[in-house]
């Protein structure tokens, strides 16, 4: 396979090796592998969203070429981006590989620092696979959801994800306040007493009901189970087991 430009085969490209067009079946297979990864994630990439891998690489680039400095007008930016790519692909020890390839001694200070960074990255990677780390990540995600829900109740849709991209109409008029019903005294003798009980998935305020029971007398008993949308917490299961025993 040969990658030929409309400028002709005699044209020399200053940004390509030997100034020639890219060619070869190996290059084609590597390029197809790159595009297949993006094709499988087309639905996630179409809304111009971001991923953890992208954010991680952006942080590495920002450490090499911060936005507060202007490196675009010099070759320094190319070397900085290359260093960021090497750090992302090879890890913190990429400088050691670069020095060895150029047959240059990295020095004791650089070698020690590279080993420290590699050990730190290995510990971080091992910690991310533990149950405690995953449990805390789920807890933080649940806390963020609760924070969003609480503020959506007060501020409306302004706290929704991608709210700037959605078509939300501005409220130009404040609605009238709701009139609360007037409480009145109820005579217990005129009503039938019903005892009821609810079983929930957890003790949180946004929990789901999984069982409703009510009884008037021996002849009138109501008991229904409901399939909840949320998982049943360990505390709720433990309380139900102790209550049944």
Average of per-residue pLDDT across 140-146: 85
C-alpha 212/C-alpha 199 separation (Å) is 7
The predicted-structure confidence for 9-48, as pLDDT tens digits, reads as follows 567 777 777 777 777 788 888 888 888 888 887 777 776 6
Confidence (pLDDT) at 2: 45
Structural domain for 198, as ranges: 192-244
Residue 114: inside a domain = yes
pLDDT class for 239, splitting at 50, 70, 90?
low
Q: Within a 10 A sphere around the Cβ of 132, how many other Cβ atoms?
A: 8
Whole-angstrom CA distances from 207 to 13, 128, 200 are 63, 29, 6
The predicted-structure confidence for 73-95, as pLDDT tens digits, reads as follows 888 888 899 889 988 888 888 88
Confidence (pLDDT) at 168: 56
Task: Return phi, psi of residue 83, to 5°.
Answer: -65, -40
Residue 240: inside a domain = yes
How much is the mean pLDDT over the chain?
Answer: 79
Residue 55: inside a domain = no
Is 125 in the same domain as 135?
A: no
* Residue in the structure block whose two tokens are 């102790």: 242
Kindly report the CATH number assigned to the domain that includes residue 224.
3.30.420.10
Q: Is the pLDDT of residue 218 over 70?
A: yes
The predicted-structure confidence for 169-200, as pLDDT tens digits, reads as follows 555 566 677 787 887 777 767 778 889 998 88
SS3 224: strand
Is 196 in the same domain as 237?
A: yes
Whole-angstrom CA distances from 187 to 85, 184, 192 are 77, 10, 11
Question: First CA to last CA across the chain, in angstroms?
Answer: 74
Residue 202: inside a domain = yes
Residue 235: inside a domain = yes
C-alpha 144/C-alpha 137 separation (Å) is 11
Number of domains forming the structure of the chain: 3
C-alpha 68/C-alpha 62 separation (Å) is 10
C-alpha 225/C-alpha 207 separation (Å) is 15
Contacts of 157 (CB under 8 A, 6+ apart): 163, 166, 168
What is the arrangement of strands in the sheet containing 220-225, beginning at the earlier edge strand? 195-200, 209-217, 220-225
Confidence (pLDDT) at 214: 93
């Amino acid at each position: 396979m040969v990658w030929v430009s409309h400028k002709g085969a005699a044209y020399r490209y200053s940004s390509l090796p030997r100034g020639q067009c890219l060619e070869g079946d190996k290059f084609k297979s590597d390029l197809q592998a790159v595009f297949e990864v993006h094709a499988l994630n087309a639905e996630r990439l179409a809304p111009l969203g971001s991923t953890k891998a992208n954010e991680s690489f952006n942080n590495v680039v920002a450490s090499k070429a911060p936005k507060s400095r202007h490196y675009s007008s010099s070759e320094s930016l190319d070397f900085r981006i290359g260093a960021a790519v090497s750090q992302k692909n090879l890890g913190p020890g990429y400088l050691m590989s670069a020095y060895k390839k150029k047959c240059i001694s990295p020095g004791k200070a650089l070698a020690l620092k590279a080993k420290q960074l590699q050990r730190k990255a290995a510990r971080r990677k091992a910690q991310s696979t533990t149950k405690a780390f995953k449990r805390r990540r789920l807890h933080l995600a649940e806390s963020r959801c609760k924070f969003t829900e609480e503020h959506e109740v007060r501020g409306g849709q302004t706290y929704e994800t991608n709210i700037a991209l959605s078509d939300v109409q501005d409220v130009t008029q404040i609605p009238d306040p709701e009139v609360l019903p007037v409480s009145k005294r109820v005579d217990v003798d005129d009503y039938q007493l019903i005892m009821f009980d609810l079983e929930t998935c957890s003790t949180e305020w946004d929990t789901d009901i999984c069982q409703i029971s009510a009884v008037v007398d021996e002849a009138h008993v109501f008991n229904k189970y409901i399939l909840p949308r949320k998982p049943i917490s360990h505390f709720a299961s433990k309380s139900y087991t102790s209550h049944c025993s």
